[in-house]
Amino acid sequence: MTLRVAIVADRVGWEERELIHRAPDFGLQVDWVNDESLCLGDPKPPSIDGYDALLVRSRSYTRGGLLATLAESGGVPVLNSAAAIHACENKLVLRAVLRSAGVPVPDFRLALSRKDFTRALEDLGLPAVLKPVYGGMGKRVTLVRDADLAQSVYDYVEDLGHAFEQACLVEPYLGGGSVRCLVVGRQIVAAAEFESAGADWRSNAALGNQSRALAHDPEVQKLVDGVVDRLGEGIYGVDLFKTPSGHLVNEVNHAPAWRGVASTTGEDIPSAIARHLQEILA
């Protein structure tokens, strides 16, 4: 019997196409369902009737968790879980959840006002990083090196139109590179180390940074285990900072892109995901 899985997303990217292409080898039929067309709320939602599971990959930082919550309430298995998506889509919630579970994260302060921002810089010192609570792919992440420019930087935050856009985290600039782990279930399927490319200080795969495959590292595995213990098994991009005293969990992406890490490591990530779906639905 062929199992049907819906990829719930706003568009079909490289990752979705690869998964749709590979799925039949594992007894799966994977379809794209536009996340703007579901109209969920009915206890037995007709728009997802007939699907054995939903794989939520909305790029939106509001849609994914809302859709996952309603689908779960209708009895449809969802990856990742609604609770995991809600935690991952908000950097502050994720940091608080992981820190309470004993998973090491960077020091940070929540800045909801200029007064908060000024106090955070006093507490953490310069250079510091200002980043939005909601957002991804390195967008609006700003390195504040100079105290004379700090308040001018915050002028731009105050001019943003919505309060949720103005909510920011301030954290120390840790320098160095980062590690991206693509996790399926509990397993690190692929791991790559990224370094800043050229004049851009941000170590982010979406910015075209240089990368190399990372060999198995027990410390990295322990951190990933801690993340999965707290969020539950699923499909995650776990981003770590390298520091002299060890790795810290920076972010966890609930709908990770994996083209970059797959290219670097040569790992067959779509097959690993399809196999995981097959196992949990069997």
**Under a CB-based contact definition with an 8 Å cutoff, are residues 25 and 3 in contact?**
no
pLDDT recorded at residue 208: 53
Locus of tokens 């298995």: 77
pLDDT recorded at residue 210: 66
Per-domain residue ranges of the chain: 3-88, 109-172, 175-281
Domain 109-172: CATH class, spelled out: alpha beta
pTM, rounded to two decimals: 0.92
DSSP states along 133-148: SS--TTTT-EEE--HH
- Judge whether 109-172 and 175-281 match in fold: no
CATH 3.90.1150.10 fits 3-88, yes or no: no
pLDDT recorded at residue 263: 94
Domain 175-281: CATH class, spelled out: alpha beta
Determine the Cα–Cα distance for residues 259 and 95; give it in Å rounded to an integer: 26
Mean pLDDT in consecutive groups of 10 residues from the start of the chain, 282 residues: 95 97 97 96 92 95 92 94 95 97 98 96 97 84 92 90 85 90 98 73 57 92 98 97 94 95 96 97 90
* Helix, strand, coil percentages for the chain (3-state, nearest 5): 40, 25, 35
Give the containing element (helix H, strand E) for 199: none
Determine the Cα–Cα distance for residues 278 and 282; give it in Å rounded to an integer: 6
Helices marked H in the chain? 14-22, 63-73, 82-88, 91-100, 114-124, 147-158, 163-166, 218-231, 259-265, 269-281
pLDDT recorded at residue 221: 97
